[in-house]
């Protein structure tokens, strides 16, 4: 039987935050709405590439560079600083997904809750505070203070060290299969949140739990506890 973990470790961007407003921000800057998820995927790609060479890059610096190139491709080479700043400002005003507040409230009754983001800890702090659930989390962690980005083992080991728990007592919750794979390879338990009904990549390690949202995850773990 599955047992509830002592610590539930959350990814932040997309897992907790609803990033759909980025599409409108892209359109307002003369770019296609469909470019928003592509841009975010490219930020992660470039961060992962730098991580494989032993660097711990700054998320915002990569995001800015990629935005400048997207804007130049859409409307030519000129000063795009204002649009870059406006789009990045959207990151500080995301809302939580509707399932997050009831889901983390239920999960907090049986586990310590912690975030671990490849972005800044302040973004997570602001997101959770605005959603009224910051007090449910003991810590908001960032790979800025870890040796390397997720999905390296070093990033998850940093979270384990900060919580004072062995890796196997942490369960990573994320919407990104690459994050699930990295955490599983590092020895963490994993829960994949699949809000869209997508197929999980067969090349990655399979999550211990798949749930359609955080409320369902809490119910699964509560059932295991019972």
Contact 56/155 with Cβ under 8 angstroms? no
Helices (H) and strands (E) in the chain, counts: 9, 8
**Judgement on whether residues 61 and 109 belong to the same structural domain of the protein:** no
- By CB atoms closer than 10 A (0-12, 13-18, 19+), residue 105 is middle
**1 domain-assigned:** no
Domain, as residue range, for 198: 7-18+95-225
Task: Tally the domains of the chain.
Answer: 2
**Judgement on whether residues 88 and 117 belong to the same structural domain of the protein:** no
What is the C-alpha to C-alpha distance for residues 162 and 109, in angstroms, rounded to an integer? Answer: 21
**Judgement on whether residues 137 and 189 belong to the same structural domain of the protein:** yes
Which pLDDT belongs to residue 128?
98
**193 domain-assigned:** yes
Low-confidence ranges of the chain (pLDDT < 50): 1, 226
| Tally of CB atoms within 10 A around 199 | 7
**Judgement on whether residues 50 and 100 belong to the same structural domain of the protein:** no
CATH code at 70? 1.10.150
Tens of pLDDT, residue by residue over 150-183, are: 999 999 999 999 999 999 999 999 999 999 999 9
**Judgement on whether residues 76 and 134 belong to the same structural domain of the protein:** no
């Amino acid at each position: 039987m599955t047992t509830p973990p002592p610590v539930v470790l959350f990814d932040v961007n997309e897992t907790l935050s609803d990033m759909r407003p980025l599409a409108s921000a892209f359109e307002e800057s003369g770019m296609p709405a469909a470019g928003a998820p592509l841009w975010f995927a490219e930020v992660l790609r470039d961060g992962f590439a730098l991580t494989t060479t032993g660097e711990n890059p700054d998320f915002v610096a990569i995001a800015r560079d990629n935005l400048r190139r997207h804007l130049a491709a859409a409307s030519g080479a000129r000063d795009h600083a204002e649009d870059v700043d406006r789009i990045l400002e959207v990151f500080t005003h995301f809302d939580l997904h509707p399932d997050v507040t009831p889901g983390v409230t239920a999960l907090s009754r049986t586990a310590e809750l912690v975030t671990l983001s490849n972005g800044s800890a302040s973004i997570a702090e602001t997101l959770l505070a605005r959603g009224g659930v910051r007090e449910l989390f003991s810590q908001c962690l960032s790979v800025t203070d870890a040796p390397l980005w997720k999905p390296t083992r070093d990033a998850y080991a940093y979270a384990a060290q900060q919580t004072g728990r062995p890796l196997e007592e942490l369960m990573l919750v994320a919407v990104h299969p690459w994050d699930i794979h990295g955490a599983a390879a590092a020895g963490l338990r994993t829960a994949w949140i699949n809000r869209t009904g997508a197929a999980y990549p067969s090349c990655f390690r399979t999550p211990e739990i798949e749930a359609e949202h955080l409320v369902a995850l809490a119910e699964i773990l509560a059932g295991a506890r019972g």
